[in-house]
Each structure stands twice: as structure tokens, then as C-alpha cells.
Amino acid sequence: MPPARIAPGIAVGGAPAPGLGRVILDVQEGPAVVERVHGGTASGVAGTRALSGSFELAHRVCITPCVIDVQPGPQQLRFTLVDDDERTSEG
């Protein structure tokens, strides 16, 4: 039998704004910086040359454990341990 889940002891506050959902974030290994990641691609033509590339923007959201309010739909989050910035994962 797996161990019981334990929610982190953080203040949730009032209800999320209309149209938003609430997510509690925590990392087992310790505090982690959470970033919301947005990316895309761009292409174009300059004279006779075709250009293309990709980009990624990351916006710091919180340090776990924390609560965030988000719009419904897919979210790309990056978690990086505070004590070891080489340990990172996305989800």
C-alpha cells in the first residue's frame, strides 16, 4: 500500500477569480523555483534567404510549496531545485 499523501501546509487564501482554477505545487526533493514556460517558432524571408528559429520565454511564478491560479487548459511549468539548479524538470 502506498503511503498517504500529505498536502503541504500553505495558505490557500480565498477562492480563485472567476474562470480560473487553483493548483497546489510541491516538490518532494525540496523547494523548487517554478516557471511558466511559453515557446514558439518564427520564420521569414530576408532577401533571398529563408530564416527560421524557435524561442522560449520563462516567467518565474513561485517557489514551492505554493499555490497558483491558472486559466483552464494546458500549462507548461518548469521546476528547478533551489539547492541544485542542474536538477530541473518540466511538466
Query: Rounded distance, CA 67 to CA 23, Å?
Result: 6
DSSP assignment of the chain: -PPPP--------SPPPTT-EEEEE--TTS-EEEEEEEEEEEEEEETTEEEEEEEEEEEEEEESSEEEEE-SS---EEEEETTEEEEEEE-
Residue 1 has pLDDT above 80, yes or no: no
Please report how many Cα atoms fall inside a 13 Å half-sphere around the Cα of residue 12, on the Cβ side.
11
39 touches 54 (CB < 8 A): yes
Largest CA-CA distance found in the chain, in angstroms, rounded: 65
Residue 12 has pLDDT above 90, yes or no: no
Say if pTM beats, i.e. exceeds, 0.95.
no
Q: Residue 51's pLDDT is what?
A: 84
